[in-house]
Chains A and B, each alone.
Chain A
Amino acid sequence: MKKLAVRIYMGLIFLFLYAPIIVLIVFSFNKTKSRGQWAGFTLDWYAQLFKDRLITEALYYTVTIAILATVISTIVGTIAAIGIHYMRGFGKNLLLNINNIPVLNPDIVTGVALMTLFISAGMRLGFMTMLIAHVLFCIPYVILAVLPKLRQLNRHIAEAAMDLGATPSYALRKIILPEIRPGIISGALMAFTMSIDDFVISFFTAGNEVSNLSIVVYSMARRGVKPTINALSTLMFLAVVILLLIINKKSGEGEELLL
């Protein structure tokens, strides 16, 4: 009896959480444009998506920026994590806390702050500023993913490598990096997810000429919800879900949960 109550309760919560997305997905296959009514199954909206210049261009920017931001933030973040790991005392704690601020900071504050910075630095808002913004907000996630792996590392294995004749950079490449690779990979996946997922910060830093998918969805929705938006949102939702599944599987292998 108690068990049943728990099940029903859980079911209701999940229904509540996922109802909007389920409705969205269902209506992306709806034949009619009207929202309240089911008029039969169609894939037209998906087909239309890929004919829309605005959307294919936004897709291109989204993916390009996500890839570039992932690569850059993973490299920078990993090096930063190694640096922080080998620091001692006050500076280390300070850096760790500073690193957490962008993660906890409301996106809108980060977005407005970056926009102000770019403008006051005389930069034209566009692809470059959006890329820089994405790199910046991805780095802390990479650091947070790599640091636990470094902590698990036996402090002496880098010394053992040098003891056997490895220069510090050789020890880093051949011993440290392979050991923390799972952390780097989940950091990269996190960065990629964050980047394709982002709306607020992109909105403030992309300017007028460049849009990513979430900006396009937003501006289309302001002009009235078309079913193509449902289709586009469904695809974005699926992409993020797949990425999250991969991340969780990866970090499950590393015996720690990131999300």
Chain B
Amino acid sequence: MAKEKYIIELRNLTKSFDGVKVVDSINLKIKENEFVTLLGPSGCGKTTTLRMIGGFEEPDEGEILFEGKLLNPVPPYKRNINTVFQRYALFPHMNVFENVAFGLRIKKLPKDEIEERVEKMLRMMDLEKFGKRHVDSLSGGQQQRVAIARALVNEPKVLLLDEPLGALDLKLRKEMQIELLDMQRSVGITFIYVTHDQEEALTMSDTVVVMNEGHIQQVGTPEDIYNEPTNRFVADFIGESNIIEATMLEDRKVMFDGRVFDCVDTGFGTNVPVDVVIRPEDLQIVTDPEKGMIRGTVTSVVFKGVHYEMLIENEYREYMVHSTLMFPEETQVGMNVQPFDIHVMKKEGYG
């Protein structure tokens, strides 16, 4: 078996504040040049995890390895890691150029090299006209780019980004997502990115780490996370879903809404309570209710641009369905679902 090279490894990382475990025994391996995103609701411990990697919080327990070496005792200023802080944390009394040059000046590089690298970085960030400007006079998007430039100019091996796009409006955020991704690809730096925006996580990452209440819920590619959530929390958090309490009768047979459905999942045992996820776009509506596996009445229709979002109610529950076809309210319809679109999850607490 080829030994993979991990640049960062977290082992049983634990941190409590005031007796509450904010990060609870986290294990994670991050490969070189990977774009890893920590995704979870506000307060789930993402920032704390990132701050431990940066060296600004000391773990209560557990180890952080950097290229296989223990990082815990290394102070932040000796780590080959740079951070883009949640609120940028630019130096207000310095202009843009000096902010970006700060790290290089500490390394005591020759003046002309500093100038060259800073200028190049500013050009890359579309900030070349702003070098002499005070950081307070910049817009949110520009400050954000200064913060990224200030970190990237040091050519760290790992860049930590804590909700760097959180303060930007939607359009700018989309643009910056693309820019960041391009940059990560071109400079070849490992990104550990924190966000609570599932769409951002799915668009940008190689690997998504879903967290809740200090625990890792699931680690996987965006496709894995979206298509194969391991539990109700992940399914719920990663986008709109129908989550259904069901019974796994035997391998490949699951029962809900008073009938048996074929599925592709095995290994749950027999007659076990499970949760089933069906994505809204995986339910196909048929006009003849008799031809559907599930029957119901349309109770609401909202146009969402590309598709219609409809709520369809039967005696058991309400389904959310996305379809390019519109069925008016009060219509009786049937719904079909393919066996591989029924995703069965173990029933458990979120933990």
Contacts and interface: CB of A to CB of B under 8 A. Distances in A.
Interface residues of A, number: 17
B85 A161 contact: no
A38 interface: no
A159 B87 contact: no
Contacts, number: 63
Contacts of A165: 77-78, 103, 106-107, 154
B162 to A, nearest CB: 10
A69 to B, nearest CB: 28
State the main secondary structure of chain A at its contact with B.
Answer: helix
A179 B76 contact: no
B350 interface: no
Contact of A163 (B54, B92, B93): B54
The winner among A159, A160, A163, A165 for most chain B CB atoms within 10 A is: A163
A165 B154 CA distance: 10
A169 B91 CA distance: 16
The winner among B75, B81, B103 for most chain A CB atoms within 10 A is: B103
A156 B93 contact: no
Interface in B57-116: 75-78, 81-83, 85-87, 89-93, 102-103, 106-107
Contacts of A154: 87, 89, 92
A170 B102 CA distance: 11
B77 A160 contact: no
B107 to A, nearest CB: 6
A161 B91 contact: yes
Contacts of B154: 164-165
Contacts of B54: 159, 163
Contacts of A109: none
B56 interface: yes
Given A159-B56, A164-B106, A175 B91 contact: yes
A162 B75 contact: yes
A132 interface: no
Contact of B89 (A159, A166, A178): A159
Contact of B106 (A159, A160, A170, A178): A170
A13 to B, nearest CB: 41
B295 interface: no
A164 B150 contact: yes
B85 A162 contact: no
Given A159-B85, A163-B54, A179 B106 contact: no
Interface of B: 54-56, 75-78, 81-83, 85-87, 89-93, 102-103, 106-107, 150-151, 154
